[in-house]
Amino acid sequence: MHLGVNIDHVATLRQVRYAGGMDAHNAEPDVLAAAAICERAGAHGITIHLRADRRHIQDADVFRLRAQLATKMNLEMGNTPEILEIALRVKPAEVCLVPENRREVTTEGGLDVAGHFDALRPTVERLHAAGIRVSMFIEPARAQIEASQRLGTEMVELHTGAFANATGEAQHAELARIHEASVFAHGLGLQVNAGHGINYVNIALIRTVPHLVELNIGHSIVARAIFAGLDGAVREMIAAMKA
């Protein structure tokens, strides 16, 4: 499995003090420096979410990171015309379409691809025309996987939030759902990624799921970085993924 490190919360820390983002000469922490550390530590890509409310990552961050990254950019975005135009200008390696609710603290569930199929189709077509690979951030459900495949997307990212928030038998039931969804999606020819709530403990269960190509992990790594440093936090997660 590959690791994509989500650095949104590095920007969150910056925005708490410097609402103007990197415009202030002393704004810190620097997301470019964070991305470089993650790459040197072995990350296979950098994930960022450009939200409509710009609560963490800013437009300038996206363009500056695109110019600097030595690996790849995975840009998470809602299906909105404004953010789509930015994505088409930046041309990241990958775009992951996600649901977005301004009142949420973090993404609360998977995108309803089946229910918004017609609205998503032109967005996927425009991204593909620009040479950008497309993923759908979805619940581990067959209907959503089938809809993603019919849209022509190359990948799905299975939302692991319910699994991460559960305990005991409920967690193992959620793991079984992810396992079944991964096998089903792989059988349809889709690359299978996963993310949301994965940490240094539950990774032991996640790594048993077959066909997972990439995990996108952010909060747990940034939180661990407070104690172990960002380089150490990334290296620890990669080691846990390989254990």
Residue positions annotated with a catalytic role: 49, 76, 196
Q: Count the helix, strand and coil residues of the chain and give each as a percent rounded to the nearest 5.
A: 50, 15, 35
With tokens 């991964």, the residue in question is 182
d(CA 115, CA 165): 25
d(CA 191, CA 182): 9
Helical H runs in 18-139?
Answer: 31-40, 59-68, 81-90, 117-129
* Burial degree of 23 (CB within 10 A; 0-12, 13-18, 19+): exposed
